[in-house]
Structure 1
Amino acid sequence: MSPPPELVKADGLWFPIDGIILRAEETIFRVPKSILGARSSVFQVMFEFPQPATGGDGEIEDETIDGIPVVRLHDSAKDVEVFLRAIFDSGYFMPPPSPVEVRDLLGILRLSHKYDVKYLFKRAIAHFETRYPLHLDKVGEVGTIRIAGNDGRVLKYRLKEIPTFHRVGATWLLPCAYYGIGTYSVERLVEFGPTWFTLPEDMKQTCFLLPKLQTAGTARLFDALTLLSTCESPHSCNLTKFEWLKNTRPDPEDPLNQDPLFELTFNRGELEAALCETCVIEARAHYNAAQANIWNQLPANCGLEGWDALLEQRRVALELE
């Protein structure tokens, strides 16, 4: 029989007074019971009405350390660590525009929802909203979320975000989160092994459909910019549009084809500089209308209600006026 694993005290999360000990995997945390209960309604109920240990989550076990009962949490030690640091270190998890690592942010979002720490949940959502905007005019702005590493690491966390947003009910983040996944090929998604294969089937099916839908959106925007001119010099402007389209439109295999809301896909400045004023005005109007249509279609692309319904769900979830 193998010996029991050695428990590790979390650095900086071992307080000497008013303590309760939490255990996640092989890491233990001693934190002020009164503060944790005041922040989390789930822990407050747990402390007021302790249940006998049956192997479930968040139960106070028979085990004690230094005479203090141990509460077993069936969460990852890393998630519990960042969650508790966000509660007990006032400078650890600041609201936007302060930057935050995506790994930490996902852990805080998951556990603030699970243990009902409302202010942390709202703060985590605020960070994700800098990455996944709620309005078209915010697309392309620099967000607060940091992801160290290459593009593969970015996609890995995108695939982790989708089920997390579903789980915590942050439906309004899903259209742009799914859109981000739709900028990758299906072959690229499948390369991610367990991260991909553990996604629920309905989420996988949505991801499979997105590249084709978004490529069609890019085509509509190129069409909107190159409609036949009816200005005073249509021959010249139509020739300009043809040459621009030939030189600018991405190769069919180019990932830019799947990113219709990315302005650099189109290099509109070069086209507008070569057109007459009438054609510039018309091209902008057609482009803006087509882009707005693509934006409005994002929720339906991933099987959700429209933006108005999603924003109402956000208002209720975040307890906004």
Structure 2
Amino acid sequence: MDETEDLLSFPPLKRQRYDSQTRSHPTASSSFFFHDGDIVLEVEQHLFKIHKHRLKCSVIFSDMLDIPQPDVIDSMHGCPVVRLMDSPQDWQVALRWIYDPTGFRLIPEPVPFPLIPSALRIATKYEIGALRKWAVGQLRARWPSDLERMGSSSLPCAAEAIALARECDVLEILPAAFYALSLQRWCYNAEGGRSHLVLSPTDIRRLIVGRERLSDVCKQILFEPLVSRPAGLPFDACHQCREPLQRYWREKVMSDPQSPVECWLLRELYTIATQRDELFESAICAQCLAWHKDVAWMRFYGLKASIPQFFCL
């Protein structure tokens, strides 16, 4: 088992309750229990015996360790003990970064998602600036503000990312995370099907409202593919190009019934605007092709600007 797998398999994220008998026998960490450590962190039933100077990267711990300590303090294994109300897995990840930040940054991309919330929670709570910067960067890479940069890695764990963004104040990822989650069909047991277990009632409502508004945009193009804006007149395409244009746009907004995701309209629009479809475009006259490209850009920018409002963000 490599180090990344060891981090992921450490303890479950859900906190467990212990009776008094179990509580008196905490377990030493197999990875972070150093014989020359000079402080013990007790997290639930797990002990981390580490070095005080390693905690200086945290503003909170740095300030705490600079305060003169009383003569009588709790001790364990010959060291002062600090009891923390956190997840053992979160500290396992954070300590991996604290002791080996270079190796941590060399974890192959994409970084397993469970590492990110663990790192971000500890970094935010204890003010570890460099670790928070890394974790936020990982979230932004998956759910970028430039929504056209979203890829397949944006789909898994989108609901968890929304909840984490709320918890740790990384709100800039919300439009992309909501959009990624809205694309997923619940009937395929994809990420969307777990949203009610992760999201707040308010964010579930945002998700539902956003899905409906995105569906309305697709329907508008499906019903009137040559109308470039609501309540506008249809483009006066030439007789030769009218039917191919209508068919092309309708095909682009129709969802594949066998796909676990709905029509990824923003990606489709960006592809139409930036890439050449040789077979289709060679059959369209210059005037109609110019309209086709212009309306692709217009629809793309309009949808991109509207997505935050669609989800009431």
Match of 2:302 in 1: 293
The separation in 2 between residues aligned to 1:196 and 1:50, in whole angstroms, is 47
Q: Unmatched 5+ residue regions in structure 1?
A: 53-60, 146-150, 305-321
Relative to 1, partners in 2 of residues 1:223 and 1:48: Cα closer, same or farther, differing over 3 Å? Answer: farther
SS at match of 2:39: strand
**TM-score between the two structures when normalised by the length of structure 2:** 0.76
Q: What does residue 315 of structure 1 align with?
A: none
Task: Give the Cα separation in 1 of the matches to 2:177 and 2:61.
Answer: 31
TM-score by length of 1: 0.74
1:283 counterpart SS class: helix
SS in 2 for 1:178: helix
| 1:289-314 deviations in Å (ceiling 9; x for gaps) | 1111111122223333xxxxxxxxxx
Number of residue equivalences: 280
Please report how far the alpha carbon of residue 128 of structure 1 lies from its aligned counterpart in structure 2 after TM superposition: 1.3
Counterparts of 2:223 and 2:288 in 1: how far apart (Å)? 14
> Which residue pairs with 1:313 in the alignment?
none
Instruction: Report the equivalent of 1:20.
Output: 39
Partner of 1:127: 138
Matched, 1:3 2:21: yes
Sequence identity, in percent? 22
Q: Which amino acid aligns with 1:44?
A: S
Would the aligned equivalents of 2:269 and 2:297 in 1 still touch at CA under 8 Å? no
Contact persistence 1:218–1:259 (CA under 8 A): no
Deviation string, structure 1 residues 106-150 (Cα, Å, up to 9, x no partner): 11112111111111111111111111112245344x76x8xxxxx
Structure-2 change in CA distance of 1:7 and 1:221 (3 Å): farther
CA distance in structure 1 between the partners assigned to 2:46 and 2:78 by the alignment = 18
- CA-based RMSD: 3.4
Work out which of the residue numbers 234, 239, 242 in structure 2 matches 1:238.
242
Does the CA-based 8 Å contact 2:269-2:296 persist in structure 1? no
Alpha-carbon distance between aligned partners in 1 of 2:201 and 2:148, rounded to the nearest angstrom:
32
The answer to whether the 8 A contact 1:165-1:174 is kept is yes
Letter in 2 for 1:243: R
1:238-296 CA-partner distances (Å, limit 9, x unpaired): 12123335655425966654532232998783543432232222111111111111111
Q: Residue 86 of structure 2 aligns to a residue in which SS?
A: coil
Residue-by-residue CA offset, 1:84-104 (whole Å, 9 max, x unaligned): 111111234217984311001
Aligned position for 2:59: 41
Q: Is the deviation greater in 125-134 or in 273-282?
A: 273-282
Gaps of 5+ in 2: 1-18, 228-233
